[in-house]
Amino acid sequence: MNPELSVVILCYKSREKVYDLARKAVSMLDHRAIPYEIILVGNYIDGDSDDTPRIVKQIADANKNVRALTLPKEGMMGWDARKGMEAAQGRHICLIDGDEQTPLEDILRVYEKLKTEHLDFVQTYRVARFDGPTRKVLSKIYNVVFRMLFPGVGLKDINSKPKIFTKDAYQKMNLTSDDWFLDAEMAIQAGRLKLKTGEVPTTFQRCAYRKSFVTFATVLEFAGNLLSAKIKDFGNE
């Protein structure tokens, strides 16, 4: 039988941090007694020295509820997330970053809201952030611009995770983004499909063991993708 919940954790370059992350996730879900699977996405760039793929395989070999996905990368965050979601077998799919900037307990919080309120798509929104002023300003600007271009979506914090959705909702979405725009693409399609959405507040911590993957080039990429998505949206009206 398919599990009730598939938790897709993006572990790119998380290395040894994945050991503790996986242990916490398994303990939390075992305690909650939800039939589940955890998919540790440890995709890699050919020739890189990242040992995350080896670590996630080792963890999966030791736990029957954990699966490892280790593919040569053909894209960045969006590609990793799409491959993880494609592999998910659960009736509900949760997508979360593996850097623990948002608490793992948020997985259960978004799941409970989705179940109790009979929603299709739930995510967090960050009410407090400790990841530095530059990221906070960029995120605020991005969300304001997004809401101006796509006023009907109704979500406060487009890039926040975890996100959870029913398998049916996921199968209705046609996700194609290989980069950081995947979060926005999911929100846009949720609005276009008139999915029942919800949000829960969270606190966002600083990642202490590596620099952010968000750079100035990422901001330009966001802007270009937003404009392209809006042009495409006009074509669908």
Q: Does the pLDDT at position 120 exceed 80?
A: yes
Task: Give the pair of three-digit tokens for residue 186.
Answer: 């999911």
Banded model confidence at residue 64, pLDDT cuts 50, 70, 90: very high
Is residue 14 within 8 A of residue 21, CB to CB? The reply is yes
Angle, nearest 10°, between helix axes 133-149 and 216-236? Answer: 10
Query: 121-129 and 163-166: which strand pairing?
Result: antiparallel
Find the range with the poorest average confidence among 76-80, 154-158, 221-225: 221-225
Encoded amino acid at 129, one letter: R
Q: Does the pLDDT at position 36 exceed 80?
A: yes
234 vs 116, more confident: 116
Nearest by Cα to 182 from 41, 82, 39: 82
Predicted confidence (pLDDT) per residue in 153-202, tens digit: 989 999 999 999 999 999 999 999 999 899 999 999 999 999 999 999 99
Find the range with the poorest average confidence among 30-39, 192-201, 219-228: 219-228
Q: What is the reported pLDDT for 218?
A: 67
Long-range contacts of 33-36 (CB under 8 A, 24+ apart): 34/3, 34/4, 34/5, 34/111, 35/1, 35/3, 35/4, 35/5, 36/3, 36/4, 36/5, 36/6, 36/7, 36/65, 36/90
Euclidean distance between CA atoms 44 and 18, whole angstroms: 15
Euclidean distance between CA atoms 87 and 90, whole angstroms: 9
Q: What is the reported pLDDT for 237?
A: 56
Q: What is the reported pLDDT for 222?
A: 74
Domains of the chain from N-terminus onward: 5-236 (3.90.550.10)
Encoded amino acid at 114, one letter: L
145 vs 3, more confident: 3
- What average pLDDT does this structure show over 39-61? 96
Looking at residue 15, what DSSP letter applies? T
